[in-house]
Chain A
Amino acid sequence: MSAQVFVPGDSSALSVGADGVAAVLSREARSRGLDVTIVRTGSRGLFWLEPLVEIETPAGRMGYGPVADEDAGSLFECGFLAGGAHPKALGRVDDISYLKRQRRLVFARCGLTDPLSLDDYRRHGGLKGVEAALRLGPKATVDEVLASGLRGRGGAGFPTGIKWRTAAAAAADRKYVVCNADEGDSGTFADRMLMEGDPFLLIEGMAIAGVSIGATMGYIYIRSEYPHAFATFSRAIERARSAGVLGERVLGSAHAFDLEARLGAGAYICGEETSLLESLEGRRGEVRAKPPLPAISGLFGKPTVINNVLTFASVPWILDHGAKAYAEYGVGRSLGSQPFQLAGNVRYGGLIELAFGATIRELVEGFGGGARSGRPIRAVQVGGPLGAYFPQSLLDTPLDYEAMAAAKGMLGHGGIVVFDDRVDMARQARFAFQFCAKESCGKCTPCRIGSTRGAETIGKIIAGRDRQKNVELLRDLCEVMTDGSLCALGGLTPLPVLSALDHFSEDFAKPPTRAVAE
């Protein structure tokens, strides 16, 4: 049998040369007359080690990284195919502390398997969730999701089981399942990793949703900034269809369910669920007023379950292991595991899946190892562009839904972005407004006009004009936006702004600089 060498095909790994490394390793092997198969996998999410090359040995998967093209020759000379010693050797990958300290339920397979091999998927425990759902039947499946305490991972944290129950109970000739893969939040990449690294898991989760609410068609809306994820996921759908996982008879059952991948077009607001539905219907992505809830009247006016990638991807584990086992992880009303994404100015950025309950500090210091620049950490933004900035004094806040809300922040999609002491928080606050102005769907005035006004007001504060008056104006404006916006783009932009004002007020009182009125 030929030796297997695993090289990630994840787009982050590609961004630091994984394709080149795969090509050089294969060429070296050939020139040495060795029988080597290169398997392209997803990423383990230890990005500072990418490209992370792995070898299967009797002692387990051995890792080497970050591998450069120049390392190929010496890797073969050191006998890396048998796990030989080398300056880039990392030992058993499962023993790397960063991975060992995690609780990977959703990301258990990502980086291990060939994302497009259903055999691989099955061999590593795949399809057991949908088999369980088919055995249990629709009602018991929904009950299981409800009992697990799973909440939406897209940002709002709504209980998934309640949504599914509502759509299941709605009578209609057609229903839909829609996956929100717009992943627009800066500092997040878990959806992308999963679509590229373990797409069948998401397909399985969506099929379970289809079977349990009685929907025969599903759509996944993937942002256009993710061309690789779109390509991989589209191929995974085809393979699932030809293997009978999707189609007229899901795994030979009486349930039909099929899927289509659609591409977004560069609009952040299309991550908001009703805007996404408008976009899928072929219109401008303008937010719809709720009610009606999508679960009652969603895509093309039909009952629709819309969930985030990670929400669907959590479901197979729940069905396979039981709601009770899932709910044993986590704290309070934040149950199960959350794939956090650590990024920005941090030494060890990556995917960190943990049971709920860890603090911001455990993530940025314990896993992240501090700022990459070696300077002190000054601010940490949690939850994407609409999330709050936390100062050092609040880094012991736990990363669960309730604790985040109590600290006037939000967990969002689990993105954590680290800034060192060179950050200017008045400018970050101004960026929050500018981003809102640029991405506003334009439907309501506080968001559309307020965001532009907010950016201008911070410009004046930076320039040192009427500071006290303008700070008051800013707070009023935030109140108007919070209360008067139809959706969370306008409604939550005040979070980063107010957190900057409250925790970093000194940055709004610095001597004026010249570059101001942009």
Chain B
Amino acid sequence: MAARAAFDAELARAVIDSRRSAPGAALPILHDLLHQFGYIDDAAIALMAEALNISKADALGVVSFYHDFRRASIDGHVLKLCRAESCQAMGCEDLVEHLEARHGLAPDAWDAGRGLQVETVYCLGNCALSPAALFDGAPIGRLDRGKIDAIVADAEGKAS
């Protein structure tokens, strides 16, 4: 994954300012912050509230509503694994077990020490080639244990 900028209030302010006048600016701002820093820092939420002239509680309410806006910095690669029905029919739960048993990677357990995080998602629109995943944004279809092992090795190789 591309190296991300460490959180920086000045940078965050600039990101927010470039979007603040758009109608309904909160989601575009939060996506830009996520893109810039990889997570939504508490300080950024306060800055956004100020810029949009809403209360901090309201801004926090928006951030916490959406699964995408993670609040803690993560380090490393993200495997978004689909666990919805079409992928269930093609054995995605077996892959979840394999990730845990073989690689010690539980889904949605944000472990900062690992170079790879596994995140549950529901449908990637690649259901005709289930099981499906996105690895750092790149789509993977017909996922199987072998491909999982290669992804983990790849992530660990890049991390070290």
Contacts and interface: CB of A to CB of B under 8 A. Distances in A.
A448 B37 CA distance: 33
Contacts of A329: none
Contacts of B23: 281, 300
Contacts of B134: 225, 227
SS of A interface (majority):
mixed
Identify the interface centre among A14, A184, A263, A417: most chain B CB within 10 Å of its CB. A417
A15 B127 contact: no
Contacts of B124: 225-226
Given A183-B125, A188-B127, A417-B86, A12 B27 contact: no
B28 interface: yes
B139 A344 contact: no
Given A12-B139, A282-B24, A186 B122 contact: yes
B100 interface: no
Interface string A386-430: 000000000000000000000000000001011110010000100
B89 A345 contact: yes
A50 B26 CA distance: 38
A283 B26 CA distance: 7
B125 A11 contact: yes
Contacts of A439: 122
B128 A343 contact: yes
Interface in B40-99: 52, 61-62, 65-69, 80, 84-90
Nearest to B91: A345
A186 B85 contact: yes
A282 B52 contact: yes
Instruction: Report the contact-size class of chain A (Cβ under 8 Å from the partner).
Output: 35 or more
A372 interface: yes
B30 interface: yes
B31 interface: yes
A262 interface: yes
A417 B85 CA distance: 7
B87 to A, nearest CB: 8
Nearest to B54: A282
B71 to A, nearest CB: 13
A279 B66 CA distance: 10
Given A282-B26, A417-B85, A47 B128 contact: yes
B61 A284 contact: yes
A185 interface: yes
B126 interface: yes
B68 A187 contact: no
B159 interface: no
Contact of B85 (A192, A351, A385, A420): A385
B127 A341 contact: yes
A491 interface: no
Contacts of A188: 123, 125, 127
Given A225-B124, A282-B24, A435-B122, A344 B68 contact: no
A343 B24 CA distance: 36
B132 interface: yes
A285 to B, nearest CB: 6
B125 A189 contact: yes
23 contacts: A15-B132, A16-B142, A47-B128, A186-B84, A186-B127, A187-B86, A225-B134, A229-B125, A265-B30, A265-B66, A266-B121, A279-B27, A286-B65, A341-B127, A341-B128, A343-B86, A343-B127, A345-B90, A385-B85, A415-B127, A417-B86, A417-B127, A435-B122
Given A186-B84, A267-B66, 6 more contacts: A16-B129, A189-B125, A225-B121, A225-B125, A266-B67, A385-B84
Interface of B: 23-28, 30-31, 52, 61-62, 65-69, 80, 84-90, 121-130, 132, 134, 137-142
